[in-house]
A and B are shown apart, each in its own frame.
Chain A
Amino acid sequence: MIQEKLRLLQSGKLTAEQNIKSFIDKIKKQDKNINSFIEVNKNAVQEAKELDKKKKKGRLFGLAIAVKSNICVKGLLTSCGSKTLSNFYSPYDADVIKKIKQEDGIIIGMMNMDEFAAGSTGESSFYGPTKNPVALDRVPGGSSSGSAASVAADFCDLSLGSDTGGSIRTPASHCGLVGIKPSYGRVSRYGLIDLSMSLDQIGVFSKDVYGSALLLNIIAGRSENDPITFDNEVEDYHIEIDKVSSDLTIGISKNFNDLCQDKRILELINKKIDEFSKKYKYQKKEVDLEYVKLAVQTYYPLVYVEFFSSTRKFDGRKYGFKIEENCGEEVLRRILGGKEISKAEHKGRYYRQALATKNLIKNDFDNAFKKVDFIISPVVPKLPNKTTKKITDPKEMYAYDAFTIPSNLAGNCASVINIGRIENVPVGLQVICPSFKESLMFNVLHKFEMLK
């Protein structure tokens, strides 16, 4: 789909202006029901007109890219879905935005999200909840709710999200999309407003695998602006998408499957794996991920402490609103919790232990990847909640991320692709690959795409 659209744009059969205008019209008519945008870029059509004058066209020429509101775009409202930053029009572009603009992509707007990316349902934004365009009575998943909903609702071509514990993969699953969380250190996070710095990654959403592969190829790579990015070669994921890989081994872990509450999801996944392994003659192997069960307990101390630290700049002096006095419940819980842990941390008990456990989980994956090429698991343990049902118990909310968090802790790359529906709600499957094996991951995703 994206490949076809790009061909039209590159050949001039479709102008950038036409592409952007049709999206803007649709957003104007339909987004009031979805609430996926916090701000539509008022200059988008003008920018498209300028692009149409260009002779040499970039690799994202004229495509509409929606951006999660925690990624700084110069001149646009980078609010993090919070009242705290409801005045913050970023004076600079994040590294990923610079790269997109260089390739002639057009930022169509700033997307709704769980406040400061601290949520998995898309309901905790200061700007109101995001609706799921493909299952209106269900939550879209979060925290990159608007980025997912806008792609699903055809308000844009591609979108950027961020994933700290599943914030791309969960909404990708609920909205029936491809969602990519790249390896830690693959994409520069300069300009991404922090949730948890040792886990955050910027990633992408698209309807087809090609779209994600192309956009990731453009935004990935080492940047001196983010010292934890790596030098590893950025492969042409989109070109090598159907590279034939034979003799691959699929990893399956009962440590994941045991945690899946809705057994219908497991059945659907197992059915797909069987189809997949039969068609491509891939072997299946059970892998032991013993410490995955500790993922949620390990994740939250890290997130609390790092989030507390990173929100100290929102002291009310520079952006007008002191975060503690203007944020929602979950954000406040994390800040206060983070503060207490940080104080107690003087004895090295919590944060450093969590860092140590993080390593155990990474070792689990390293060992598993000696035996298998990639691992397949569910994305979430159950179907998305109905919008009428509010989760009030944080433990229940946190358990929701049990399958997505491990990859953030291990730093590997993980992704979601839709494999069908249950109760007419989209269900995704997670493909986890070793760090910097994005190319392999896109091959596998493409092969699932071809199954349909």
Chain B
Amino acid sequence: MKVKIGLEVHLYVKLENNKTKLFCSCPINYKEAETNTNICPRCTGMPGNKPMLPNKEAFEKAIEVALILNCGIPKGPILFQRKHYDWPDLPNGFQKTISGTYSVPVGYEGKYNNVRISYMHLEEDPAKWDPITGYVDYNRSGIPLIEIVTEPDLIDSEETRTWVRNLMTALSYVNSIDKDLGIKADVNVNIENHPRVEIKNVNSLANIKKAIEYEVLRQQKALLSGKNLVQETRTYDDKQNITIHMRYKEQAQDYMFIPEPDLPSIQVTKDQLEKIKKIVPESPESKRERFVNKYKLKKEDAETLSSNLKLAEIFEDIIKESEINVTAKLLVRDLLSVLNYDKLEIENVNLNLENLKYLSKMLSENKITENTSKKILIELVKKDFSVKDYIKKHDLEIKSDKSELETICKQVIKENPKAIEDYKKGEEKALNFLVGMVMKKTKGTANPDIVNNLIKKLL
């Protein structure tokens, strides 16, 4: 039984300059603010209220998202629609959205990681309603939301989770989404040729996966026992890990969409679009492919490097002067594991690019060992210092001067008669021990190959 999965992902827009709601000047920090303090006649739906022009920054961020997802941007006017439904969280009785029967979305017909994007658009968030107490907090009412709607191109829970995670990577590239405010997804699941079930408001990557797993099983079981499936809307209960029937699915006509008469249409101008195109970076998808094709990186390394825009940019900057493979190893294996260990994120660490460049260069030229490099990284993510000075000060450059190393080797041989005996009996391990002793004496800066050969020769 072939499963088809489509998503409607809602994300909060990350605003930097104009941190206000979509149609009024109330602040958007609803989590910190005391209940019902970020409000005005507009976002509480007072009689006589009119929206202000939509937050321009939010609109431009939506275009950035559209572009990174390879969506088309309409050349004609974009008009907000009223989507009517009767619910305590909706103060005006309708939601202003760019979706709906006759709407022109912000972005249309995109594609990301082999999943087609039907459209993406901007809308206002409803208020927060507590069904148990009946209290409504309007702080959230009117906060700009981006909705991304996909075609049902996903086939299972794991693929869906991975896709959403990669989607978040793409969105982090344009810095348009406030991840701290969370993600809300409506997940459409159906078995081919059977009615579609919508699971509302699934709110994490893990829950998306679990909800799909449960729902697929539920539908398969129902079909196997000869039952008919119906088109319906369900909700995911993460405590019990089940989906529960909410209502039979609305038809679009039940929302009675009309174009918002209180707002003029919006036109994306050519200049505006050009300006935004300039700041939208290459998508992680094409970056990954380019890294594989151009730099012959392993697919996994390309994936890791492109999963973070800063990391990818650092990589491409360093390899101008250093070896590609050495650099990839330095970043993917060493830097990320050091960061991981300290639970740090690359965005939040004060990393001086010159230091990383220097490290990579020294590694590429075989002047320091990987071990040295890793030790330096551990210090470097804690505080910034000059790697060049540090190496000099602690005398960490690989010692390849044979006469100097020979003296040390001779000393080690002299100090370890037992090991020499063992080696002569044919125990390879003893050789490693001796090399290790030399490394210890040189604080790990000796070139291990040279030491190895030297000891063999001396014995």
Contacts and interface: CB of A to CB of B under 8 A. Distances in A.
Interface string B251-288: 11110111001111000000000000000000000000
Interface stretch (B84-92, B332-340, B434-442): B84-92
B91 A313 contact: yes
Given A191-B48, A224-B53, A225-B50, A346 B253 contact: yes
Nearest to B88: A317
B52 interface: yes
Interface residues of B, number: 31
Nearest to A342: B256
A408 to B, nearest CB: 13
Interface in A290-317: 305-306, 308-309, 311-315, 317
Contact of A312 (B84, B101, B254, B263): B84
Given A227-B52, A227-B53, A306-B258, A352 B102 contact: yes
Contacts of A219: none
A92 B262 contact: no
Contacts of A71: 48
B94 interface: yes
Most buried by A among B46, B48, B101, B102: B48
Contacts, number: 98
Interface in A329-350: 339, 342-346, 348
A38 to B, nearest CB: 15
Interface in A75-131: 78, 80, 85, 88, 90-92, 94
A35 to B, nearest CB: 23
Interface string B403-445: 0000000000000000000000000000000000000000000
B258 A351 contact: yes
Contacts of A352: 102
A315 B93 contact: yes
Interface string B231-258: 0000000000000000000011110111
Interface in B356-412: none
A309 B102 CA distance: 17
B249 to A, nearest CB: 15
Contacts of A169: none
Contact of A228 (B45, B88, B254, B264): B264
A410 to B, nearest CB: 16
Given A315-B93, A348-B102, A342 B84 contact: yes
B101 A72 contact: no
B401 to A, nearest CB: 75
Interface string A359-380: 0000000000000000000000
A197 interface: yes
Nearest to B82: A309
Given A228-B264, A342-B258, A312 B86 contact: yes
Nearest to A311: B93
Q: Interface centre among A91, A225, A312, A351, by most B CB within 10 Å?
A: A312
B41 interface: yes
A278 interface: no
A309 B94 contact: yes
Nearest to B49: A190
B128 to A, nearest CB: 15
A194 B82 CA distance: 15
B48 A315 contact: no
Contacts of B51: 227
B49 to A, nearest CB: 7
Nearest to A95: B50
Contacts of A78: 47-48
Given A227-B263, A315-B86, A342-B256, A190 B93 contact: no
Contacts of A138: none
A189 interface: yes
A342 B51 CA distance: 21
Interface string B14-39: 00000000000000000000000000
Nearest to A224: B52
A197 B263 CA distance: 10
Contacts of A346: 101, 251-253, 257
Contacts of B53: 224, 227
Given A226-B50, A339-B256, A309 B84 contact: yes
17 contacts: A80-B47, A190-B48, A190-B49, A193-B48, A197-B261, A197-B262, A198-B261, A227-B50, A227-B52, A306-B261, A309-B258, A311-B93, A312-B84, A313-B47, A313-B91, A315-B86, A315-B93
Closest 10 CB pairs of A and B: A312-B93, A342-B256, A346-B253, A197-B261, A198-B261, A191-B48, A72-B48, A193-B47, A193-B48, A227-B53
Interface of A: 70-72, 78, 80, 85, 88, 90-92, 94, 189-194, 196-198, 224-228, 305-306, 308-309, 311-315, 317-319, 339, 342-346, 348, 351-352
Given A342-B84, A345-B258, A346-B251, 4 more contacts: A70-B48, A226-B50, A227-B53, A348-B101
